[in-house]
Amino acid sequence: MQEGKPKPNPHITTRGVNDHIPEDGRPKGDWRINIKREGIFKGRHLLPKLERMGIITSEDSCVGESIDDRTGEGWTRMFVSQRGFWLIDPRIFLFTLSPTTHSPFPGASPYTSRPGSPNRDSFPPSRADAPGEMPQALMAPQAQSPGGPFASGSHLPTYYPPPPTIFTTTNNIRHPIRQKPPAQGETFYTRYIHSVGQFLSFRVASLSHKSPTHRGPVSDSTPTFLPPGSGVTQGSLPSIANMAINPCDTDLLHTWMNDPRVNALFGMAGPRSVQEKMLRDALNTKHSFPVIGCWDGKPFGYFELYWVKEDRLGGYLSSHDYADWDRGFHALVGEQEFRGPHRVKVWMSALVHWCWLADPRTERVLLEPRVDNKKYVVVVVDPCDPFVRVYFALHPNDVARFIGYLQDVGFYKEREISFPHKQAALMKIRREGWEAPVL
């Protein structure tokens, strides 16, 4: 489960009559860390609280016979699984407390040095009146308060369960009312990718004429510890990421769409107004929102995350193919330096990871790449349907085995779908079969 460490062998050792079975044919187990009820875990209330939070699990789901909760009956076989670890929303634990003043413990760790809990002092002040200048979140699926994504004056976590389901009808489709996505420019997912040595992040695209400032971490050599009271924050130190040298999102799309390679697939080349209208339409669509992917704060691609039920894809599926909360995404990689099979698998699995975290009711993620994408993936923009804009468009070398890449991260091909403009493979991944994002 640790990044940078080799994966343990998942195959279960068989004995007796199964000794002849080759290792690749043996059943796979679920890697777990067993928790012993001793030391700090011996208290009467700690293990039940951790179980309620989803941090630890037990297959013993009965009440038990003992009326004395000090015996620990039912709490002796607790464990943490890899799959469960990655499905826990970090907002349950990552929140900022007010600094302790006049502490009687001068040797205590300064509150600003906690690497796992970003706070507003970790980044330069944001300008609420400037589009794209929003407080940033670490894997936070919704917009945050001006005090910062993890600010908590009540000393309580900033996680909230999904709201009650209320239905509405759009274009004769009955569906749940969706929560608003994060704001323009807001980062909603950040994770260090050990195999690449860079931070991957996703933020909402912005119509601002300035490039949204990247306030998240980057893989540079700046100091990771700053003494308390120095007045210097990590975000205020000069770096490539926090220098406004990137073009704005509309200019990015203008450059990418006018690349002959991309234009041959998208047909969206033209003046800046063409891409600006595309982005404006995407920001005004109720069932999806546009996203810019970044490596160490540098934009590399454009994505759209959508709810399947209201998307055009939903019209080609039967009711058993998807549920109210299932999601999908479209993607475009525009920067030459960030293409390649491994990076594709990383950002693909990261988007799936976000879908699981964004709403625990999402059970499936669906994709529909063209079946003959061994050559190209054509993107058709339907001017009569504002829901259809972008589909997979990667360099031919990247898409040569694109369906294979999907299968490598857990997708499976269910069948083919005949769209008016393409024959697509319906690819699915289920929460139940998902294990962890590519590290």
- Can you read off the two tokens belonging to residue 157? 């976590």
Picking from 300, 288, 243, 251, the residue whose alpha carbon sits closest to that of residue 390 is 288
Show the beta-strand stretches assigned E in 109-238: 167-170, 173-176, 187-193, 198-204
- Can you read off the two tokens belonging to residue 74? 């039912």
Please give the distance of CA 333 from its chain centroid, rounded to a whole number: 17
Packed helices 249-257 and 272-283: angle between N→C axes, nearest 10 degrees: 120
CA distance 364 to 14: 33
Contact indicator for 297, 315 with CB cutoff of 8 Å: no
Please give the distance of CA 161 from its chain centroid, rounded to a whole number: 17
CA distance 317 to 3: 38
Contact indicator for 211, 247 with CB cutoff of 8 Å: yes
Question: Burial level of 119, CB count in 10 A (0-12/13-18/19+)?
Answer: buried
SS3 328: strand
CA distance 61 to 58: 7
SS3 104: coil
SS3 180: coil
Contact indicator for 356, 431 with CB cutoff of 8 Å: yes
**Region at 192 (left for phi over 0; alpha for psi -120 to 50; beta for the rest):** beta
7-20 per-residue burial string, b: 16 or more CB within 10 A, e: under 16:
eeeeeeeeeeeeee
SS3 276: helix
Contact indicator for 344, 332 with CB cutoff of 8 Å: no
Q: Active site residue: 3, 51, 368, 414, which one? A: 368
Can 23 be counted among the known catalytic residues? no
Tally of CA atoms within 13 A in the half-sphere of 14 that contains its CB: 14
Q: Which residues are catalytic?
A: 368
